[in-house]
Amino acid sequence: MKLSNKQKGIASFSVLSAVGIAIGIYHFLNAPLPKPVLESEVIELGIHEPIKNGVPFEIMKFNASEGLIYHRPNGTHVEIPANSIVDKNGQKVEGEVEFRFREMHEAKEIFLSGIPMQMSEDRSKYLESMGMVEMRVFNGDEEMGLKEGSEVSVDIASNEKPDKNFKLWYLSENQSWEQEGTFVNRKNTRRDTALANLPKLPKKPKKPKKDIVFQLASDDNMPHLRTWDGVDWQLLSSHDEDAIMRAMRVNWDKINIELINNQKKQFRITFASNKNDHKGNIFRDSITVEASPDINKKDMERLMAQYQTALQDFTVVLQKREKEEERIMQESAMLNSFTANGFGIYNIDKLKQTQILAKINASFDFQKDVDITINRMKLIMICKNQNTVLTYYPSEWKSLPVIDDEVELVASLPDGSFAYISNSSFLKQLNKNDISPYFENKRAFSTKKLNYEDLRTLML
């Protein structure tokens, strides 16, 4: 039977299709199976504390209808406005609620908090922190939110002024970092005001026209000096005259008088006060002199008895003042201030690309007992100078970056313990003089096994 041209075309197409299908089936059967993603290599998103309550929350109960003003000893300050707390449905919450707060300023604290610092979309990028806070509000076990249009005012204590590359970041959905508004670096005016409201300084000592004679001026803040009102003091020799003349121009807030030689009527007088340097930091200034009052022996005995009585009464007041002054001086001189339209984790950060000096092919002694292809493991690199933490999974251990001289490594082991490498051990094994950015650098690390409490103690 003779085939038409159309029939010949159909037959040719059928043969070609059959051949194509056969070739496809052959390649399908012989193609390598896709490599399964190991559970141990799945990147964890979100907050994963290595130790439960590694950085514990400070807890404060407050009335939602009244709001909250929360102030920490280091100067960090939070204000939640009244009637601003809502539940998950946006309904206003009244009555007592619980404010939970913690802050992290150092790389070790960030590590213990379990808060990630690498960008989820590009893990070669990370955040260098200059202070991070986590703040939550709960009503029982239910986490609360902030009413739309309300704002929480936050001041984070800062030890230095951030450069222009630092931004305010927010951990969205507790998983990925997003830039969130702006912040302002400013002086801690609360600290300055509190110091200014301490008892006022006494009047300046009087400078005589000849020799160095002075008087001690008492006031309500130093009533123990009233015994010596109007008494001229003759400065004894062997003092640095320039230092004495400088002291005459200073307002001192503490003056102590001590008898050192009754026969010669010699006294030791110590002047002290707090001063601010050009950065706003507070330091203690003092000077001690020896002097003799211009009075006869009988009057001096009477005045000394009066002075001792007055000094005892004043000691209690003085101790209270010094305790309050010490508390105020714990606050940072600077604050990074911002307003937040919700609760969660906020960070003053600089976004950085990992600057790799070299890479090392790292192995660890615990791999003899632990199969890293089966067990979910990760290695945390705690970088002090960058003030950040970086996470690396087993497949990345063959190319660990060298980015910092101040590094500690912590690996979580399947039995709940930790393998730790100190900075000194890391540098000793690394031997930076014998490492190259162009070749493979194999390094085998010995670790120290730690339990939860050991690690907590080491980090804090």
Asked whether residue 50 is assigned to any structural domain, the reply reads: no
pLDDT tens readout for residues 421-439: 999 999 888 877 777 777 7
Question: What is residue 215's predicted lDDT score, i.e. its pLDDT?
Answer: 86
Neighbours of 458 (CB within 10 A): 15
Question: In sequence order, which residues have a C-beta less than 8 Å from that of residue 450 and are 6 or more positions away?
Answer: 417, 418, 419, 420, 458
446 and 381 in a single domain? The answer is: yes
For position 280, what pLDDT does the model report?
64
pLDDT at 203: 55
Token pair, residue 393, equals 């999974």
Whether 153 shows a pLDDT value over 50: the answer reads yes
Q: 437-449 pLDDT, tens per residue?
A: 777 789 999 999 9
**What tokens does 288 get?**
């001690």
Q: What is the C-alpha to C-alpha distance for residues 459 and 448, in angstroms, rounded to an integer? A: 14
pTM: 0.69
Residues 331-384: tens digit of each pLDDT: 888 999 999 999 999 999 999 987 667 788 999 999 999 888 888 889 999 999
Question: 303 with 228: CB under 8 angstroms?
Answer: yes
Q: Judge if 227 and 183 occupy the same domain.
A: no
Whether 156 and 109 map to the same domain: the answer is yes
Q: Are residues 398 and 444 in the same domain?
A: yes
Cα–chain center distance at 107:
8
Number of domains in the chain: 3
**pLDDT value of residue 210:** 46
Question: What tens digit of pLDDT does each residue of 26-58 get?
Answer: 444 454 544 444 555 667 888 999 998 899 999
Domain-terminating residue out of 321, 349, 377: 349
Q: Tell me how many helices (H) and strands (E) the chain has.
A: 7, 27
- Residues 184 and 231 grouped into a single domain: no
Q: Is residue 232 part of a domain?
A: yes
Of 63-72, 79-88, 213-222, least confident by mean pLDDT is 213-222
Residue at which a domain ends, from 296, 329, 362: 329
Q: Do residues 54 and 456 touch, judged by C-beta distance below 8 A?
A: yes
Q: Residue 317 above 70 pLDDT?
A: yes
- Asked if 429 and 407 touch (Cβ cutoff 8 Å), the reply is no
- Residue environment code for 237-273, b if the CB has 16+ CB neighbours within 10 A, otherwise e: eebeeeeeeebeeeebbbbbbeeeeeeebebebebeb
pLDDT band of 204, cuts 50, 70, 90: very low
- What would the pLDDT profile of 89-130 be if each residue is shown by its tens digit? 999 999 999 999 999 999 999 999 999 999 988 888 999 999
Host domain of residue 452? 354-459
Q: Is residue 266 part of a domain?
A: yes
Burial of 123 by CB count in 10 Å (0-12 exposed, 13-18 middle, 19+ buried)? middle
Q: Is the confidence at residue 10, as pLDDT, over 70?
A: no
Indicate which CATH number applies to the domain containing 155. Answer: 2.60.220
In terms of Cα–Cα distance, which of 180, 128, 161 is closest to 339? 180
Model pLDDT, residue 224: 81
Q: Are residues 335 and 238 in the same domain?
A: no
Please tell me whether residue 280 adopts helix, strand or coil conformation: coil
To the nearest whole number, what is the mean pLDDT of the chain? 84
Query: Do 338 and 424 belong to one domain?
Result: no
- Beta carbons within 8 Å of 215's beta carbon, 6+ residues apart: 205, 206, 228, 229, 230, 231, 232, 233
Which residue, among 429, 441, 417, has the nearest Cα to 366 in the 3D structure?
Answer: 417
d(CA 257, CA 386): 50
Indicate the pLDDT class of residue 21, thresholds 50, 70 and 90: low
21 in any annotated domain: no
Task: Clarify whether residues 266 and 176 are in a common domain.
Answer: no
In this structure, the answer to whether residues 342 and 391 fall within a common structural domain is no
Together in a domain, 288 and 337: no
Q: What is the mean pLDDT of residues 175-201?
A: 87
Of residues 63, 142, 156, the one with CA closest to residue 105: 156
